[in-house]
Amino acid sequence: MSALDLYYSVKPFIPWRVRMGLRRWHARWLRRRREHEWPIKSGSQRRPDGWPGWPGDKKFALVLTHDVEDQKGLDRCWLLHELDRDMGFRSAFYFVPEGAYRAPDLLREDLRAEGCEVGVHDLHHDGKLYRSLASFKAQADRINHYLDKWNANGFRSGFMHHNLDWLHELNLDYDGSTFDTDPFEPQPDGVNTIFPFWVPKAGLDSDAGYVELPYTLPQDSTLFIVLQEPSIEIWQRKVNWIAEHGGMVLLNTHPDYMSFGPGPAGRDEYPVERYGQFLDWIRSVHKGAYWSALPSEVARLCAKARTSFPDVSCVRSGH
């Protein structure tokens, strides 16, 4: 059993305060050691071969995604959607099929009717998806079932675990389980690019493959819960840098950790106003400069162009 497998086996028995205290201590240590590559990593701005640019000659793309981990997050989905909608944005929601809750059919249908996207978030969200290839293939059958049932074409694993070769077992158009740079994740190997890229299926002469969409802004849980940042300054700084280089701003947030009030935020929450501030800032400061797109729209663009990075082998074969 690997160290990660052992951790996820005993995690339910470790008090939250103890786990979070250790995570924060480790994150502070990592931040000092990795300040040269987080939140911005030099070299990740290199454009892939054959990159076609963004539609409408926009400077950069903006993609908003939300992972729903627990019942608390599920209960807040519509509030979060209304915030996005009222600010003039569309977003994608990823639901855990067989986790601590069940995503109602009506909720998924209503989100789609409002112009949102629905994707699959792991299977159980227990950190064990990649325990072995045999185990992954068995769970892949169930994940494919939900991709088909939900009419979804996108996937993101729990805890951002990834193996780009194994993901060819899934019937998907895109995956969003990687990042350009994020030393705070349990599997910290980044893909070192702020662009989407095509992942071909090895050994085939056909067009088989899928698009990888790395997130390029720090996750809200990392920024506000683990690192306890008091503002959105890091998001703003990273967006400005990505815009300068014509990349993709992909933000992943969690309704589970957003406090919609009234009253103070809980111990594992942050004020949802920070997310609202980000949306208001980007639509004001970068007005007219970005292509606001759903993940599937970016995936279609990239699949058509077949842009790829041959140097992402570090995340192709395991973690």
DSSP per-residue string spanning 20-83: HHHHHHHHHHHHHHTTTTSS--TTTTPPPTT----GGG-SEEEEEEEEE-SHHHHHHHHHHHHH
According to DSSP, the residues that pair with 203 across neighbouring strands are: none
For 111-208, where are the E strands, in sequence order? Answer: 117-121, 154-156, 174-175, 197-200
For residue 183, what are the domain limits? 14-44+55-315
C-alpha 28/C-alpha 26 separation (Å) is 5
Residue 195 maps to a domain: yes
- Gap between the Cα atoms of 305 and 290, Å rounded: 19
In a domain, 120, yes or no: yes
pLDDT in tens, 92-146: 999 999 999 999 999 999 999 999 999 999 999 999 999 999 999 999 999 999 9
Give the tens place of pLDDT for each residue, 206-247: 678 999 999 999 999 999 999 999 999 999 999 999 999 999
Q: What's the total number of domains in the chain?
A: 1
Each residue of 151-206: pLDDT tens digit? Answer: 999 999 999 999 999 999 999 999 999 999 999 999 999 999 999 999 998 776 66
**Residue 28: which CATH number?**
3.20.20.370
Instruction: State the amino acid at position 222 in one-letter form.
Output: T
In a domain, 5, yes or no: no
Q: Is residue 6 part of a domain?
A: no
Q: Is 74 inside a domain boundary?
A: yes
- For residues 237 and 278, is the Cβ–Cβ distance under 8 A? no
Alpha-carbon gap, residue 222 to 245, rounded angstroms: 24
Asked if residue 98 is part of any domain, the answer here is yes
Assess contact for 126 and 100: CB atoms under 8 A. no
* Inside any domain, residue 23: yes
Map residue 210 onto helix, strand or coil: strand
pTM over cut 0.85: yes
Classify residue 162 as exposed, middle or buried by CB count within 10 Å of its CB (0-12, 13-18, 19+). Answer: buried
* Domain contains 106: yes
> What is the pLDDT, as a whole number, of residue 307?
72
